[in-house]
Structure 1
Amino acid sequence: MPRSGAEARRRLQQAALELYREHGFDQTTTAEIAARAGVNERTFFRHFPDKREVLFDGEADLRAALMEAVAEAPDGLQPLDVLLCAFRRAGRILEDNRPFSEPRLQVIAKTPALRERELAKAASLTEAVADALRARGVPERLAGLAAQTGWAAFHHAAQAWIDDPSRSLEAHLSRAFDDLRTLSATMSPAQAAAESGGGRA
C-alpha cells in the first residue's frame, strides 16, 4: 500500500499507463487501475476525476513553466523566439520524465477519447501562452497566431522525438522552429514561377 498521497498518485498513473497499453483505454476500468496500483477505487477518485485525466496530470506544471519562461525571456526577441525559449523549458519536463512521456504520447495517439482531451488541454495551454505574449506587449492578433503556431511546432517536435530518440527533444524542437522560419521565408508558387520565367507574359 502506498504510504503517501504523492506515491499513490504516481502508482495510479503508472498502473493506468500499463493497462492502457496492455488492454486499451476503453477496455480498462478505474477499479482495475486502482487494483494494479495497490489502492482502492475511492483512492483513485480522490486523485483523478476520471480515467482520462490520469494521463494529463502534468498540465498545471507545464502551464506554469511555459508562462514563466515567456515572461522571463530576454527583451527584444521576436514572438517565435520567445516561444522557442519557453518550449525548450517545457521540453525538459518531458525529457526528464521520458519513461512516462513516451508511452503516454503513444497511447494518446491511438485513442480518440484521449486525443479529444489532449486537444482541449492544448487549446487551454495555447490561450495561456498567448496571454503571456500579450503581457510582453505582443499585439493581440499576433500573440494568438504565434501561440498556435508555436504549439503546433512543439507538438510536431515531440512526435519526432518519439519517432527518433537518437536526437534530443531540444534538437527536434530547434529543427521544427527552423522549419517554421523556412516556411515563412519561402516564396509563393506565383512568385517562384515569375522568378523562374514560368509566368505568363
Structure 2
Amino acid sequence: MEARRRLQQAALELYRERGFDQTTTAEIAARAGVNERTFFRHFPDKREVLFHGEAALRAALMQSVAEAPDGLQPLEILLRAFREAGRILEENRPFSEPRLEVIAKTPALRERDLAKAASLTEGVADALRQRGVADRPAGLAAHTGWAAFHQAAGAWIDDPSQSLDAHLSRAFDDLRALLTTASLMKACPGS
C-alpha cells in the first residue's frame, strides 16, 4: 500500500514537472524508490496511476444511492451521493487538486478521465434503476448529476476558499433553477 502511494505521488510530481508524455514508468518507479516491476504490480500503465481511487469512488457512490432514504427524487439522491464522493476528494485534496490540473492539460489523461466518468455515470444510473427509477430518467439523472459534480469540482479547484460541498450545493441549485425555468417557459409558451 505504501509503495502504491509513493508511486502515485512520484507520478504526479513528474507529470507536473516534465509533462505526462515525457515521463516514463521507469522514472516514476525510480522517484518512488522502487523498481519498474513494482510499478506494474500496482498499475497497468502510466495513465492508471492517477485513476486508482476510482473503485473507492464508485463504491461510495453506489452505497450512497442504495442507502438514500425513500421518497427522495433522483437528483436529491444524487446530490447525497456526490457529497460522499466530494468528501473523498476533499480528504485527498493535496493529491486531488494537482491531479485534476494534470488531467486538464493532458489529452491522453482527459480521454481516460472521460472513460472513467462514463463508467461511473453508468454505475450511478444502474443504482438509480435498482431503486425503481425508470431506465431513461435514471440515465439522464446520472449524466446530469455527474455534469453538476464535475462543474462543482472545477469550481472548487478554482476557488478553494469554499468547500467542495458548497460548490456542489450551488451546482445543484443552479440545476434546479434551470429545470424550474424550463418548466415555466414551457407553461408560458408565448413569453
**What's the TM-score bracket when you normalise by the shorter of the two chains?**
over 0.9
2:96 maps to which residue? 101
Aligned equivalents of 1:147, 1:174: Cα separation in 2: 16
Cα RMSD of the aligned pairs, angstroms, is: 1.4
Greater Rg by CA: 1
- 1:163-182 map, 5 Å: 163-182=158-177
Supply the AA of the counterpart residue of 2:50: L
TM-score (norm 2): 0.96
Deviation at 1:129, TM superposition (A): 0.3
Deviation at 1:185, TM superposition (A): 1.1
Residues 132-188 of structure 1: CA deviation (Å, up to 9, x unaligned): 000000011100000000000000000000000000000000000000011111147
Of residues 62, 69, 72, the one that matches 1:67 is: 62
1:116 maps to which residue? 111
Give me the identity figure in percent: 82
Q: Does 1:41 align with 2:30?
A: no
- 1:106-185 map, 5 Å: 106-185=101-180
Aligned equivalents of 1:192, 1:142: Cα separation in 2: 24
Structure 2: give runs of 5+ residues left out of the alignment: none
Supply the AA of the counterpart residue of 1:77: L
Structure 1: give runs of 5+ residues left out of the alignment: 1-5, 196-201
Supply the AA of the counterpart residue of 1:138: V
Aligned equivalents of 1:57, 1:107: Cα separation in 2: 15
Supply the AA of the counterpart residue of 2:88: I
Aligned equivalents of 2:66, 2:2: Cα separation in 1: 32
Aligned equivalents of 2:67, 2:94: Cα separation in 1: 29
Q: Does 1:50 align with 2:38?
A: no
- 1:75-86 map, 5 Å: 75-86=70-81
Aligned equivalents of 1:175, 1:20: Cα separation in 2: 32
Q: Does 1:186 align with 2:181?
A: yes
Aligned equivalents of 1:139, 1:191: Cα separation in 2: 25
Deviation at 1:189, TM superposition (A): 6.9
Change (3 A) 1:193 1:130: closer
Supply the AA of the counterpart residue of 1:88: R
Aligned equivalents of 2:21, 2:185: Cα separation in 1: 46
